[in-house]
Chain A
Amino acid sequence: MAIDAISMAGNKAKGKRPQYFKDGDSDRLMAILMAVAGELAVARERIDTLERLLEKNGVLKRQDIEQYAPDTEAAHERGLWQQEYIARILRVIQQEIEQIDENRAAAVHAKEHTAASTTNDLEELIDELAST
């Protein structure tokens, strides 16, 4: 058997997996979330290793990191990074809100035009565009 370490590492153990939450989706999300949380911890540990090695080799003092205060430009860049990061991970909420606007716009449009050409439901639109 060819050994594919990446995919075989995640092989399922024989035996049905229990469901822990009311909804199986929550079980799946929890599993993904914990894997991501684990990888964040791994990245954090790698940074810590870096800092300690840099200090040991005289490149920096870790105390300097604790006492570091960004100047105005750096603070701005870092603020932007934080905002982008948060926007990225909370994408689903942003889009949920945009959907409200989209629905309202569709409703307004429906008043002005015939109902058949105003839907924003994808299934209906597929049928609409396919119809001759």
Chain B
Amino acid sequence: MKDSDRQVPPAWNEVGRHATFPQARHDEVARFNFLTNLNTHLATQVLPGVRKAYDQRVEALGEAPSNRRAVGTILKQEPVYQYWSALRRNTMEMRQQNGRGMVLRQLPELIEKAQSLNEGSTQLQLDPAVKVPRYVSAVDIHCMPGGYHTELCADDISAGANYDCGIFVTTAGMLGRYSDGGGQALVKWLRQEAEKGFRPKRILDIGCTVGHNIVPLAQAFPDTEIVAIDVAAPVLRYAHARAKSLGVNNIVFRQANAEALSDADGSFDLIITCMFLHETSSRALPRILAETHRLLAHGGRVVHIEQPQFTDDMPVYEQFMRDWDTRNNNEPFWGTLHDLDLFEAMQEAGFQRENISTTGLFAVVDESLFPSAERADADSEDYGRKPAWHAYIARK
């Protein structure tokens, strides 16, 4: 292969900055560049080797495994898989260490910047009475030390700043400059729906973290009123400051648990969750889905964006590889959620079967600089990382 034919991910320098975004030193950028390229290498060079080794082992056994657990039994003995898996775990841990090192050394300045944007705003509504649920606090999701919720000091935003600066690395730039390819995909979808007459006035984003998926909607539809909720105060403080510094004024960031919200029935025309449901639990999920039904106005829609479900149509090898995050990246509900029939779960929450549909969504990015998930080779799948999602859409 010629050098010019190789796909090189964009340098981390291209990450979109805003007032509360951490300042990166030369070597901190270089560390992210190393990790971005290591992730790309693992996905494009090592992962095909895992498949090759697996096929060889299955051939030697003379029988293909019938479920993903059996695939795991085979692969866990395979050195190529061991290397791939161990290296992938290491990229997660190293990304966290670099992000935290960068954020923590300048934390007082970052907090001050956030404070100046947050102080006195009625659009940041924190509620210390909101308990962090066990599915958020039991283990640190994505191997982020302290998760989304831990506060190292008063007015802490470090969890948000660390999360924001590293998404680019994990996704090798596929979520675009502001890591908002998911939000941009929702904008594209909503523009199409608006042409057909669906023009929501009030939008709810559940599990908003740093607001990267909702800000594009707020920018594209400035006349809408938006509420974005999360249980974790540090990410909400950061999200509010981030949105303000990007010139967004139509989002209220509120600390709340989506299992039981105080808003009146029918308060929203559109409710979205973006890569959120897999971070809940079997007990919380039906409550959250029921709340989305209660909170939607008649004719309103809910959109859940997730990685594809593990259906019978999905090969067991792919199921096993997609399930990696459950045990290796502290995503304990990932496998359970992806085994679920989401149509059925949404039906039980009150939606009519005929009003539920699914569609494929790809991250929308500035393709002059960032790799397009839609145009990437079909065999470039990086199980659970590539922003090629399924959207589950229900109309009330």
Tell whether, in the assembled complex, residue A15 and residue B85 are in contact, meaning their CB atoms are under 8 Å apart. Answer: no
Are the CB atoms of A14 and B27 closer together than 8 Å?
Answer: no
In whole angstroms, what is the CA distance A30 to B328 when docked? 16
A14 touches B327 (CB 8 A): no
| The stretch of A40-48, A56-64, A74-82, A107-115 that contacts the partner chain | A40-48
| Interface 0/1 of A29-41, CB less than 8 Å to B | 0110011011001
Q: Which applies to chain B's interface (DSSP): helix, strand, loop or mixed?
A: helix
Taking the nearest CB of chain B, how far is it from the CB of A124, in angstroms? 38
B130 in the interface (beta carbon within 8 A)? no
With both chains docked as a complex, state the minimum distance between the C-beta of B54 and any C-beta of chain A, in angstroms: 16
- Complex Cα distance, B328 from A126, in Å, reads 44
The count of chain A contact residues (Cβ–Cβ below 8 Å) is 29
Is B104 touching A3 in the complex (CB atoms < 8 A)? yes
In angstroms, Cα B65 to Cα A27, docked, is 28
| Partner-binding segment picked from B87-95, B291-299, B357-365, B371-379 | B87-95
| Cβ-defined partner of B93 (8 Å) among A5, A31, A42 | A31
**B222 is an interface residue with CB less than 8 A from chain A:** no
Is A89's CB within 8 Å of the partner chain B?
A: no
Question: Which residue in chain A gives the minimum CB-CB distance to B77?
Answer: A22
User: Nearest CB to that of B85 among chain A residues?
Assistant: A20
Cβ-neighbour of A6 out of B101, B138, B145 (below 8 A): B101
Q: Is B68 an interface residue (CB 8 A)?
A: no
A11 lies within 8 A of B107 (CB): no
In Å, the complex CA distance between A15 and B137 comes to 10
> Is A5's CB under 8 angstroms from B104's CB?
yes
* Docked-complex contact B144 and A13, CB < 8 angstroms: yes
Known A3-B153, A46-B26; contact A34-B104, beta-carbon cutoff 8 A? no
Q: A8: which of B30, B82, B87, B104 is its contact (CB, 8 Å)?
A: B104
Chain B residues with CB below 8 A from A15, complex form? 138-140, 143, 330
Contacts of A49 in B (CB 8 A): 26
Contact B152–A1 (Cβ < 8 Å): yes
A86 smallest CB distance to B (angstroms): 23
Interface presence of A9 (CB below 8 A): yes
| With known contacts A11-B146, A14-B139, A21-B86, A42–B104 Cβ distance under 8 A | no
A91 interface contact, C-beta 8 A: no
Whether A30 lies near B90 (C-beta < 8 A) is yes
C-alpha gap A27/B35 in the complex (Å): 18
The answer to whether the Cβ of B333 comes within 8 Å of any Cβ in the partner chain is no
Question: Interface size class for chain B?
Answer: 35 or more
Contact A18:B327 (CB < 8 A) given known A1-B152, A49-B26: yes
Residues A3 and B107 in contact, CB atoms below 8 Å apart: yes
CB of A70 within 8 Å of the partner chain:
no
- Evaluate whether A42 and B101 lie within 8 angstroms (CB atoms) in the complex, with A11-B146, A15-B140, A15-B330 already known: no
How far is the CB of A9 from the nearest CB of chain B, in Å? 3
Q: How far is the CB of B30 from chain A (nearest CB, A)?
A: 4
Q: Check B100 for interface membership: any CB of A closer than 8 A.
A: yes
Interface residues of B in 150-208 (CB under 8 A from A): 152-153
Residues of B within 8 A of A42 (CB): 27, 30-31, 34
User: Which residues of the partner chain B approach A4 to less than 8 Å between Cβ atoms?
Assistant: 104
Cβ B139 vs Cβ A18 within 8 A: no
CB-CB nearest in chain B for A44: B30
Q: Is A12 an interface residue (CB 8 A)?
A: yes
A46, B27: Cβ atoms under 8 Å? Answer: yes
Which residues does chain A contribute within 8 Å of B98, judged by CB atoms? 9
Question: Bound complex: CA of A6 vs CA of B34, how far in Å?
Answer: 20
Query: Which residues does chain B contribute within 8 Å of A10, judged by CB atoms?
Result: 97, 100-101
Residues of A within 8 A of B105 (CB): 5
CB distance from A68 to the nearest CB of B (A): 22
* Contact of B250 with A by CB under 8 A: no
User: Which residues of B305-346 are within 8 A (CB) of A?
Assistant: 327-328, 330
Task: Indicate whether B40 reaches chain A with its CB closer than 8 angstroms.
Answer: no
A34 in contact with B90 given A3-B104, A12-B145 (CB within 8 Å): yes
Write 13 A-B pairs (CB below 8 A) sorted by A numbering.
A5-B101, A8-B145, A9-B104, A11-B100, A13-B142, A15-B140, A15-B143, A18-B85, A20-B82, A20-B86, A21-B86, A30-B87, A41-B30
Q: What are the 9 closest A-B residue pairs judged by CB atoms, nearest first?
A: A15-B139, A9-B101, A20-B86, A13-B140, A5-B104, A11-B145, A45-B30, A5-B105, A41-B34
- Besides A9-B100, A10-B100, A13-B146, 19 other A-B contacts (C-beta < 8 A): A3-B104, A3-B108, A5-B101, A11-B146, A14-B139, A14-B140, A14-B145, A15-B143, A18-B328, A20-B89, A30-B86, A34-B90, A38-B34, A38-B35, A42-B30, A45-B26, A45-B27, A46-B26, A46-B30
